[in-house]
Amino acid sequence: MKKLLTDKSDGHIALCLQTVAETFQVKIPTDLGLHMYFEVLNKYPNFIMSDVMRDVVANYKYARLPIPSEFVQKCEPIHKQHSSWYISKLQIVCTYENHLVNGFPVNKYLKEYNNG
């Protein structure tokens, strides 16, 4: 899961932008404009960019390339959801490892397991 959340690349962003642009038959920005897309969207993992690209192609009503803020509006909730899920699972694993090292707390409901 960590690799999935950290796998990012400008090449994948370019591929997603090219896919949207070709679908809508519009031009991709060059130089500074394209650099701004990379700078803003490089925060998001490849799988999120792919999901958002499919959503834009399937549901976007305008035959133009969405501006970076429109991509961010679609990417950010997905990114937050996946990141918070990953952090919660990481906390569970860390707590478990801590209990393995320091011993598990006594559970008053499981008396038969507390003594050995």
> pLDDT (tens digit, 9 = 90+) per residue, 37-88?
999 999 999 999 999 999 999 998 888 999 999 999 999 999 999 888 888 8
Residue 103 region by backbone torsions, left for phi larger than 0, else alpha for psi between -120 and 50, else beta: left
Whether pLDDT at 96 is above 80: yes
Whether pLDDT at 18 is above 90: yes
Boundaries of domain holding 68: 2-114
Mean pLDDT for the chain overall: 86
Higher pLDDT, 52 or 1: 52
- Quote the CA–CA distance of 62 and 24 in Å, as a whole number: 8
Number of domains into which the chain is organized: 1
- Quote the CA–CA distance of 113 and 102 in Å, as a whole number: 17
- Quote the CA–CA distance of 64 and 101 in Å, as a whole number: 57
CB under 8 Å, gap of 24 or more: what pairs does 109-114 form? none
Higher pLDDT, 89 or 76: 76
Query: What proportions of the chain, in percent to the nearest 5, are helix, strand and coil?
Result: 70, 0, 30
Whether pLDDT at 5 is above 60: no
pLDDT at 50: 93
